[in-house]
Amino acid sequence: MNAPQNNSQPSYLEQSPEVRERFQRIYDRETILEVRQLSKRYQTPQGETEALRGIDFKVHRREFVCVIGPSGCGKSTLIRILAGLDKHSDGDVLLDGKPVNGPGRDRGMVFQGYSLFPWLTVKENVMFGPEMSGHTRNTADNQARQWLDLVGLSKFADSYPHQLSGGMRQRVAIARALVNEPRILLMDEPFGALDAQTRAKMQHHLLDIWKNLDITILFITHDLDEAVYLADRILVLKPHPGEVQEIIEVPVPRPRTPAQFDSPVFRATKARIEALIHPPVESGEDEENNPEAGPMIRFTNVTDNVE
Amino acid sequence: MSALTLWLNAPQRRRALLTVGSFLLPILVWCLVSYLPFVWHPQVLIDEPGGVDYFQTGMRVDRSDFADQLADMAQQGLPLPSGSPANPIYLPAPHEVAKAFYSGFTSPPEQKNAPWLHESLWHSIQIIFWGFVISSIVGVPLGILAGSYASLGRLSEPFIEFFRYLPAPAFGALAVAVLGIYDGPKIAIIVIGTFFQQVLIIANTTRKLEATLIEAARTLGSRGWRLIARVVVPGILPNLYQDQRILLGWAWTYLIVAELIGTSSGITWYITQQARYQHFDNVYAAIIIIGIIGFGSDLLLARLGRKLFPWNTGREKG
Ligand SMILES: Nc1ncnc2c1ncn2[C@@H]1O[C@H](COP(=O)(O)OP(=O)(O)O)[C@@H](O)[C@H]1O
Ligand SMILES: [Mg+2]
């Protein structure tokens, strides 16, 4: 399963003309987010840990970028720095060419855990952003309704978060982030806590939203299928310290459908990431990583059968 | 199974029954001690003094003394004293306390110008109320701020932690010197007894707020005061309310000490006065009333809490 692919299988590097053209169009667009030589060191009682080292990448307007890597490789650290929730030690984070300094409305964030305000109704949760930016309650109300409509939750506008299912809560969280019309939407394993079926639906739903809006997405996951299914490009991180191993241009054409999970390009891309994340040799690290990889593969087969 | 056992086994009914039982049990013990002469009754209540010089009707003497005198009189051929087994004066029977409970509210006080029982109680309730309100006006915001801003917490909490260990009643004399002998020092003792715990407990509750909620709010453009007003305060409100309930309970426990300071007042004055005249039934009635008011108001506040924070119950369930 971890065998290096140098045989006649299509390489993940081979792109159809349409795909290549698509990437050209993406790179022609303006840069929304630029990360230059970013590092992060944590001071701990055991000494200094280097969570991120020399991270370099750009995200273009309306691009969908996934960040993947084993747990503990610094994915959350990276996205929290981009969101302005943590400070970086070295390097630059530029949004539209301007350095990021603290959290801001120009970067929306969706967390893995339920981050909805439990004391507010669904609609009031979505109204929070507009109200904070000084809109009147009336305007905020209108905007919230519009975005709830977009995520298909108008019927639940007056429910409290605890009355919703996990998938619905994350849809509210997405609406709440998008209502501020951020330049980029940062998502930290947003579907990680959902069951496979809900997760598949949410992935589809997210692609729908992304298609219909002028929004750029940086999406963190540790699920290979999720990354390949969603992304234009995938940033593969390796742990200790967190470094970019490779930035992969996903050769799977759009529009994406679950049927593509079985296509040769999809599998080739997945195999490449698999090889990067779980290198075939190093036995010491394998012990740690294998139990995680096992159930993940079964997971996706289940998804395939369902859809 | 019969309908009755079914009825009794329904979990809610069982709980209600056990709750009632937890009150009935101590009352039952009290009844046993009061109404069954062989349980305790170490004294004899004199009906007829007989030939004993120092016996009087209505007097209580130890059982052994009574037996001695009885034997004595019989030997000397004098009229025999008679009496019935009794408990000491400080342990009145339930029905006597119940009667005192009723008459405390219906019959005027024995001395002129002395306050009625309910007036004494009202005075006590006001002391508690003002002590608690004054403490909360400063303590709640300070606690929230100390919990929200790490540096403010580090600046204030060590001293408060130290002060918390100083017993509030120890400040009684000082409070009288500063605030006079009437209600001022009493309220001050309640404030001192409540405030320091309050700041620490509420700061701690604030720190336990889910960090993701704060972070989510910050990414949505919320900062500074608005973050506290719109996220921190509503986020901790259900727990803050619980804290306040517990703190109010502690404030009650300071009441008696507080009321002894300066000129004794309120329910404490009533209790000491009644004890002085050996009206122990009234003393018990007053003590029980304090319990009923404290426990009852807490029950009410718990009810109200469930109404006020509907989202919180759902969260507890899952
Ligand atoms: N606040 C912190 N203090 C010290 N070390 C941290 C802190 N947060 C994360 N780390 C370390 O940084 C590394 C990356 O963590 P994280 O970004 O959460 O990984 P991921 O999200 O990829 O699972 C881990 O080794 C973790 O132990
Ligand atoms: Mg993480």
Burial tier of B54 (Cβ tally within 10 Å: 0-12, 13-18, 19+): exposed
Distance from CA of A274 to the nearest CA of B (A): 31
Q: In whole angstroms, what is the distance from residue A117 CA to residue A112 CA?
A: 14
Give the per-residue pLDDT at B123: 94
b/e map of A103-113 (b: 16 or more CB within 10 Å)?
A: bbbbbbbbbbb
A242, β-bridge pairs: A52
Pick B213's closest partner by Cβ from A107, A117, A163.
A117
Atom of ligand 1 nearest to the CA of A79: 17
Query: A102 — phi, psi (to 5°)?
Result: 85, 170
Report angle CA A273, A278, A279 to the nearest 5 degrees: 100
DSSP state of A155: G
Query: B47 — phi, psi (to 5°)?
Result: -95, -55
Contacts of B231 in chain A (CB under 8 A): 117
Residues 6+ apart with CB under 8 A from A201: A167
Least Cα distance to B269 among B204, B186, B176, B155 occurs for: B186
- Please say if the pLDDT value at position A33 is more than 50: yes
Mean pLDDT of A39-51: 91
| Local confidence band at A17 (pLDDT 50, 70, 90 cut-offs) | confident
Cβ contacts below 8 Å, chain A against chain B, sum to 78
Q: Which residue of A has its CA nearest to B311?
A: A119
Sorted by where each begins, the domain ranges of chain B are 43-86, 106-317
* Closest protein CA for atom 3 of ligand 1: A42
Q: C-alpha A100: how far from its chain's center? A: 19
What CA–CA distances, in Å, run from A51 to A38, A55, B250, B300? 10, 11, 48, 52
pLDDT by residue for chain B (318 residues), tens only, comes to 567 777 777 788 888 899 999 999 999 999 999 999 999 999 999 998 888 889 899 999 999 999 999 998 999 988 999 999 999 999 999 999 999 989 888 888 877 778 888 899 999 999 999 999 999 999 999 999 999 999 999 999 999 999 999 988 889 999 999 999 899 999 999 999 999 999 999 999 999 999 999 999 999 999 999 999 999 999 999 999 999 999 999 998 898 889 988 888 899 999 998 999 889 999 999 999 999 999 999 999 999 998 998 887 544 433
Contacts of B305 in chain A (CB under 8 A): none
Give the per-residue pLDDT at A281: 63
Distance from CA of A164 to the nearest CA of B (A): 11
Residue with the bigger pLDDT between A259 and B7: it is A259
Q: Which CATH class is domain B106-317?
A: mainly alpha
ipTM attached to this prediction: 0.85
Query: A94 — phi, psi (to 5°)?
Result: -120, 130
Give the per-residue pLDDT at B108: 84
Q: What is the pTM of this model?
A: 0.84
| Local confidence band at A199 (pLDDT 50, 70, 90 cut-offs) | very high
The pair of structure tokens assigned to A206 is: 């997210």
